[in-house]
Amino acid sequence: MTGFSIDAVVTAVSEVTGPRERVGLHEPEFRGREMEYLARCIETGWVSYLGEYVERFERELAVATGTRHAVVTVNGTVATHTAMMVAGIGPGDEVLLPALTFVASANGVAHAGAIPHFVDSEITTLGLDPAKLADHLSSIAEVEGDVCRNKETGRPIRAVMPVHIFGHPVRMPALLEVAARFRLKVIEDAAESLGSLHDGRPLGGLGSMGILSFNGNKIVTTGGGGAIVTNDETLARRAKHLTTTAKKPHPYAFDHDEIGYNYRMPNINAAVGCAQLERLGDFVMRKRKLADRYRAALAGVPGVTFFGEPAGATSNYWLNAILLDDAHADERDRLIETFMKRGIQCRPVWTPMHELPMYRAAPRADLSVCEQIARRLVNIPSSPALADGLVTT
Ligand SMILES: *Cc1c(COP(=O)(O)O)cnc(C)c1O
């Protein structure tokens, strides 16, 4: 297609974001009961690891993800580390995950001593490709009893961690089928997808465990925070124990039965989380409205496509994304610079994990689609307030 022009793309996006001096990529919004709940923590002195909001936030997160249990933590990275430990994954084990993800996914695996093994993504979901995963495993792995072994490294492959990129669901039914065939545990990285549905079911509760993040830029924020969600009570108890210094429950004795972690979320953060979670439905509704506006504004613009939710998905559109046609991929940085000059914050997708120095030697599959997406994708402003003209900075 001819007629691609950077100005046309920037103009279409700026018609949606409106006449503002500066538009952030994703700004938090505190228009609910955050102040009220925070004041209650301070007035009562319950600011730290005990208090009503921690338990309430855990209960409500379980409801939001359609799971039975949630354990909140200080961030999403340690939630991933904890999920690995609770799943019995450690040194000498491999965990499959997409190379196209935020570095926290791979770090959480590495912190447990396990080895990330990178697999490819698909252009229709931006997430892990179940069909390509099956092909890769068929050629490099064998199942012995209940263990999937990497024939090239000799190591067991214990789990697969799909990541729902920008809130868009991975094709979970197909992935669960491949995981069962190769005896892999499924741990969902749902850090970006709170509030998204796949065939009407919330993400995070579709595997054995899911992890969430409440970092400042996520759809629901606690400043910093994370959670492990699961239907399995044994896993939830173990996660709670490990993240609370492995302290044995007792009215006054301080007694610990293993080397635990201080990964608990403080009550102040959980208070903000409770107030934010009350707004989740509203955030998702407005972000979906914003996505509709971008889709319409970019529909007639040559050389670029707005990334829309895959079939069967109701996405939270955490971060909106546009894909340049392959022919214009080398214009990406010039496009980003033009946006920035106009005060519109945007960015390329993360550098793929296998290109980072600490993961360059990690085992991996063919990653050609990941590399193609990385060349073509640009994230554009996604604050919910952009849907109703309320962003002011
Ligand atoms: C945000 C995020 C995490 C967790 O990050 P923290 O900053 O540690 O909370 C994990 N995975 C993905 C894909 C993320 O976007």
Cα separation, 77 vs 354, in Å, equals 18
Residues framing ligand 1 (Cβ under 6 A) = 75-77, 101-102, 104-105, 163, 189, 191-192, 213, 215, 226
Residues composing the chain: 393
Atom of ligand 1 nearest to the CA of 215: 9
pLDDT tens column, 120-134: 999 999 999 999 999
In a 3-state reduction of DSSP, which class is residue 15? helix
Using an 8 Å Cβ cutoff, are 344 and 380 in contact?
yes
**Ligand 1 pocket mutation, candidates 78, 187, 192, criterion most atoms within 8 A of CB:** 192
Cα separation, 360 vs 293, in Å, equals 39
Q: What is the pLDDT of residue 349?
A: 98
Cα separation, 207 vs 323, in Å, equals 29
Least confident range from 169-173, 257-261, 385-389: namely 385-389
Confidence grade of residue 180 (pLDDT, cut at 50, 70, 90): very high
Q: Is 334 exposed, middle or buried (0-12, 13-18, 19+ CB in 10 A)?
A: exposed
Atom of ligand 1 nearest to the CA of 225: 9
- Give residue 189 CA to ligand 1 midpoint distance, Å: 8
Cα separation, 225 vs 84, in Å, equals 17
DSSP 30: -
Q: Of 105, 107, 112, which is closest to residue 86 (Cα–Cα)? A: 112
Confidence grade of residue 3 (pLDDT, cut at 50, 70, 90): confident
User: b vs e for 174-208, b when ≥16 Cβ sit within 10 Å of the residue's Cβ?
Assistant: ebbebbeebbbbbbbbbbbbbbbbbeeebbbbbbb
Give the mean model confidence (pLDDT) for residues 71-91: 98
**Ligand 1 pocket mutation, candidates 78, 213, 263, 350, criterion most atoms within 8 A of CB:** 213
From start to end of the chain, where are the E strands? Answer: 69-73, 94-98, 115-119, 141-144, 147-150, 156-160, 185-189, 197-198, 201-202, 209-213, 226-230, 304-306, 313-314, 320-324, 347-348, 377-380
- Give residue 213 CA to ligand 1 midpoint distance, Å: 5
Query: Which residues are bridge partners to 70 per DSSP?
Result: 229
Q: What is the pLDDT of residue 246?
A: 92
Give the mean model confidence (pLDDT) for residues 75-93: 98
CA dihedral sign of residues 276, 278, 282, 284: positive
- Give residue 69 CA to ligand 1 midpoint distance, Å: 20
Give the mean model confidence (pLDDT) for residues 305-334: 97
Q: What is the pLDDT of residue 20?
A: 85
Ligand 1, atom 14: closest residue by C-alpha: 191
Cα separation, 68 vs 210, in Å, equals 12
Query: Which residues are bridge partners to 283 per DSSP?
Result: none
Task: State percent of the chain over pLDDT 70.
Answer: 98
Place of tokens 């729902």: 164
295-303 contact pairs (CB < 8 A, 24+): 297/12, 297/13, 297/15, 297/16, 298/9, 298/12, 298/13, 298/322, 301/8, 301/9, 301/12, 302/1, 302/2, 302/3, 302/4, 302/5, 302/8, 303/1, 303/3, 303/4, 303/5, 303/9, 303/327, 303/328
Tell me the whole-structure pTM to 2 decimals. Answer: 0.96
Q: What is the pLDDT of residue 393?
A: 42
Cα separation, 45 vs 264, in Å, equals 17
**Ligand 1 pocket mutation, candidates 77, 125, 209, 319, criterion most atoms within 8 A of CB:** 77
Confidence grade of residue 2 (pLDDT, cut at 50, 70, 90): low
Using an 8 Å Cβ cutoff, are 157 and 118 in contact?
no
Ligand 1, atom 13: closest residue by C-alpha: 102
Cα separation, 365 vs 27, in Å, equals 36
The DSSP-derived string for 342-384 is: TTB--EEPPPPGGGSGGGTTS-B---HHHHHHHHHEEEE---G
Give the mean model confidence (pLDDT) for residues 56-60: 98
Q: Of 311, 100, 286, 295, which is closest to residue 198 (Cα–Cα)? A: 311
**Ligand 1 pocket mutation, candidates 95, 102, 211, criterion most atoms within 8 A of CB:** 102
Q: What is the pLDDT of residue 392?
A: 45
Which tokens go with 230? 């699961």
Q: What is the pLDDT of residue 242?
A: 98
- Give residue 76 CA to ligand 1 midpoint distance, Å: 5
Phi, psi of 251 (to 5 degrees): -60, -35
- Give residue 209 CA to ligand 1 midpoint distance, Å: 15
DSSP 195: T
Q: What is the pLDDT of residue 240?
A: 97
